[in-house]
Amino acid sequence: MITIINGPNLNLLGKREPDIYGSETLEDINSWLMKRFEGVRGYGDSAFDGVWLDFFQSNCEGEIIDKIHEAGFNPQTGGIVINPGAYAHYSIAIRDAIAAVPVPVIEVHLSNIHAREDFRHKSVTAPACRGIISGLGKEGYALAIESLLA
């Protein structure tokens, strides 16, 4: 199983700043990922005929931390893909949760955080992650999943 965690305001995809984040909703992206990895053997039950993706979104820091703990200590979890949204720039608590779990975590951002406002250039969560993918839109999620499956 790969857990995909989306942070604050990602539930507004398709409505919020489409010139930056695109017109697709989070549900569109999740459906696209399910189709993309359908039939690809990955983590989870050996009888399962594809990658088991667990999707989670919250605007609340504590709920995101709880999900990192839940997924990160679940023996069926092969990795976590996280788009912490704005929390990437200031949540030491989410950074510490990522560092505490034994599974690999890859940080994803739809937009290129380095091409935006100065305050978005630094991610405090990224150093606790295996890697970061930024600016490739929904393809960043797929690349992170592929990396965890490799």
Active site members: 21, 109
CA 121 – CA 51 distance, rounded (Å): 32
CA 33 – CA 145 distance, rounded (Å): 9
Handedness of CA 68, 74, 76, 79 (dihedral sign): positive
Q: Which residue has the tokens 């937009």?
A: 111
Quick one: residue 85, left, alpha or beta (phi over 0 = left, psi -120 to 50 = alpha)? left
CA 93 – CA 1 distance, rounded (Å): 24
- Strands 79-83 vs 105-109: parallel, antiparallel or unpaired: parallel
